[in-house]
Amino acid sequence: MATYEYLCSRCGPFDVKLAIGTAPGTHGCPVCAAAARRVYSSPGLTLTPDGVAALHEREEQAREAPAVVSEVPPGKRVPRRPHPALSQLPRP
């Protein structure tokens, strides 16, 4: 999904998320439903580390098609440490 910017002559700019390459030259304004023209601007490119980019990609995919889990995955149980303030409480 890509974010495309449109400019309504009455309401101002707004963004629309569409599949890449499918953005029309005009789009209906979400406020007044008038035809708004597409605005071309510089892309928001950043150098993101690979690990962060993978997490963002996985999160975006989970929005569209979340994974279905039938059971809790096995894992190690981490022993819980008692709270440090408990050692200062009076003992019976």
Which tens digit of pLDDT belongs to each residue from 39-78?
A: 998 877 778 888 998 999 989 888 888 888 888 878 887 8
Q: How confident is the model at residue 16 (pLDDT cuts 50, 70, 90)?
A: very high
> How many whole angstroms separate alpha carbon 44 and alpha carbon 24?
20
Site of tokens 């999904």: 1
Rg from Cα positions in the chain? 25
The model's pTM is 0.48
